Amino acid sequence: MAYSDKVVDHYNHPRNVGTLDKSAAEVGTGLVGAPECGDVMRLQIRVNPETNVIEDAKFKTFGCGSAIASSSLATEWVKGKTIDEAMAITNTDIVKELALPPVKIHCSVLAEDAIRAAIGDWKKKNNVAETAAVAVA
């Protein structure tokens, strides 16, 4: 199966690979796994406590090219967004941007889940009320 140019680009030059200090109050960590294939993705955000803007994001993904590209793209997209704006990113946006084929859609779901998990962790740490969970099929 051929990967799209954008997937190859993110795979060859992943943005924002790395780790943020998990114990810091302003850092949220999301760790998710895909039951379909066993791939694992960790995505972290650092949030400005005054503005709720995500100022930094890092990821580490053990997985396929599409999972790496999805998480790389996710870190790019969340940076500079508020928590609420970042919550609005869906896997469909990622599928479109990376032109993922149907068999690779779950890789983008992993990235959406990772964003939400990181935000959830940050909210819990900072006693921000969870907004009603969006149902993800």
Site for ligand FES in 108-127 (CB under 6 A): 110
CB 64 within 8 A of CB 10: no
- H/E stretch holding 33: strand 27-33
- The correct pick among 67, 69, 74, 117 for binding ligand FES (CB under 6 A) is 67
State which residue, 107 or 119, has the beta carbon closest to ligand FES: 107
Residue 107 Cβ vs ligand FES, minimum distance, rounded to whole Å: 3
Partner residues linked to 44 by β-bridges: 29, 58
State which residue, 47 or 110, has the beta carbon closest to ligand FES: 110
**What end-to-end distance do the CA atoms of the chain give, in Å?**
26
Partner residues linked to 58 by β-bridges: 44
Q: How far apart are CA 28 and CA 49, in angstroms?
A: 12
Residue 107 found at the interface with ligand FES (CB under 6 A): yes
Q: What residue ranges bind ligand FES (CB under 6 A)? A: 34, 36-37, 39, 63-64, 66-67, 104, 106-107, 110
